């Protein structure tokens, strides 16, 4: 007789799941997606991601080739810098994930959510999947805007596109996967740190300050920093999306391969989810 065997991590996180319960998990995911679709914050974050991506891509495309340090658009490096504008979609997908979980405490809606589904691990799993779906939309939007900006500028200047179709496709898929997984990381973070403001600030400080500093100081670990790995998955050069010392640092390190970067970010999402499920999630809701 065939039976469904979920991976061990699913057991660890949420207990054994029967076929009936898979149906209820699907329903919970639909409820979480409906929550996302019925608040303006989701659309506001998507618009912010789109706007910042457009702004940074246009700025990079405009200044491409204007000096020694800025590669021209007919080189892969120059085109790459324009695509890097899409990392704003990754950051804002993380923020969306944070709001999906911490928002339940900000607005005290956790009470009704847990009354409907007292098994809190299952709520968290549904939130992670729903946030990942929304994150994928953010990633796709970021890619379309960043790549579109690059292609328009390339065409306007009469260049040939410096990267092949396969690479372009990889950048697109990388954007979608990276943003989806980072949104799931955001859900876990927002479950660990119930204060929405603190968690959102934490995301920006980690991505913009901590990883930039660590990546600049220790080039060898730069590829393994999770946000940096997500940006390279989305097509950015190693350190290309960083600020300060790590930005295009003279590094001998290579970015993680596609599958390894995907596994790394998924691993971070699972690890943080397990920690949250064991510590903050079961706490009293008063």
Smaller CB distance to other proteins: residue 130 or 233? 130
Stretch that binds other proteins, among 113-121, 128-136, 139-147, 229-237 (CB under 8 A): 113-121
Neighbouring C-beta atoms of residue 156, cutoff 10 Å: 10
**Residue from 18, 112, 195, 279 in contact with other proteins (CB under 8 A):** 112
DSSP letters for 49-65:
HHHHHHHHHHHHHHHTT
Stretch that binds other proteins, among 24-32, 139-147, 174-182, 272-280 (CB under 8 A): 24-32
**109 scored as a contact of other proteins (CB under 8 A):** yes
CB of residue 52 vs other proteins: minimum separation in angstroms? 22
Alpha helices in 64-164 (DSSP H): 76-83, 87-106, 110-116, 120-156
Smaller CB distance to other proteins: residue 123 or 147? 123
Smaller CB distance to other proteins: residue 28 or 264? 28
* Surface-to-core class of residue 249, CB atoms within 10 Å of its CB (0-12 exposed, 13-18 middle, 19+ buried): middle
CB of residue 188 vs other proteins: minimum separation in angstroms? 21
DSSP 222: G
Kindly give, in sequence order, each residue whose CB lies less than 8 Å from that of residue 136, ignoring residues fewer than 6 positions away. 176, 177, 179, 180
Q: Would you give the binding string for other proteins spanning residues 27-66, x where CB under 8 A is met?
A: xx-xx--xx--xxxx-------------------------
Buried b (16+ CB within 10 A) or exposed e, 103-116: bbbeeeebeebeee
Stretch that binds other proteins, among 8-16, 100-108, 132-140, 217-225 (CB under 8 A): 100-108
CB 128 within 8 A of CB 274: no
CB of residue 45 vs other proteins: minimum separation in angstroms? 13
Distance separating alpha carbons of residues 31 and 53, to the nearest angstrom: 30
Distance separating alpha carbons of residues 284 and 286, to the nearest angstrom: 6
* Closest-CA residue to 103 (of 180, 36, 201): 36
Contacts to other proteins from residues 125-184, by CB under 8 A: none
Smaller CB distance to other proteins: residue 28 or 230? 28
Contacts to other proteins from residues 243-282, by CB under 8 A: 282
Smaller CB distance to other proteins: residue 155 or 285? 285
**18 scored as a contact of other proteins (CB under 8 A):** no
CB of residue 127 vs other proteins: minimum separation in angstroms? 12
Smaller CB distance to other proteins: residue 99 or 251? 99
Q: Checking phi first, is residue 282 left (phi over 0); if not, alpha (psi -120 to 50) or beta? A: alpha
Task: Give the bridge partners for 70, in sequence order.
Answer: 67
Residues near other proteins (CB under 8 A) are 27-28, 30-31, 34-35, 38-41, 103, 107-119, 282, 284-286
């Amino acid at each position: 007789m065939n039976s469904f065997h979920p991976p061990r991590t699913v057991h660890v996180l949420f207990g054994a799941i029967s076929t009936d319960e898979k149906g209820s998990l699907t329903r919970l995911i639909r409820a979480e997606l409906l929550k996302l679709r019925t608040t303006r914050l989701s659309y506001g974050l998507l618009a912010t991601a789109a706007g910042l991506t457009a702004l940074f891509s246009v700025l990079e495309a405009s200044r491409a080739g204007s000096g020694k340090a800025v590669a021209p658009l007919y080189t892969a490096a120059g085109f790459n810098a324009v695509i890097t504008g899409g990392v704003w979609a990754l950051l804002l997908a993380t923020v969306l994930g944070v709001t999906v979980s911490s928002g339940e405490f900000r607005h005290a809606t956790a009470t009704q959510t847990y009354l409907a589904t007292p098994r809190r691990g299952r709520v968290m799993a549904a939130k992670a999947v729903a946030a990942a779906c929304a994150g994928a939309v953010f990633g796709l939007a970021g890619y379309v805007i960043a790549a579109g900006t690059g292609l328009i500028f390339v065409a306007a200047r009469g260049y040939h596109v410096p990267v092949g179709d396969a690479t372009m496709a990889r950048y697109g898929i990388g954007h979608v996967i990276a943003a989806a997984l980072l949104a799931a990381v955001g859900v876990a973070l927002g479950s660990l740190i119930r204060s929405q403001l603190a968690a959102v600030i934490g995301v920006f400080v980690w991505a913009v300050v901590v990883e930039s500093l660590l990546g600049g100081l220790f080039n060898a670990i730069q590829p393994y920093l999770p946000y940096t790995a997500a940006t390279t998955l989305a097509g950015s050069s190693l350190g290309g999306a960083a600020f300060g010392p790590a930005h295009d640092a003279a590094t001998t390190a290579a970015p993680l391969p596609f599958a390894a970067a995907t596994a790394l970010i998924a691993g971070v999402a699972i690890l943080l989810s397990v920690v949250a499920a064991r510590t903050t999630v079961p706490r009293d809701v008063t």
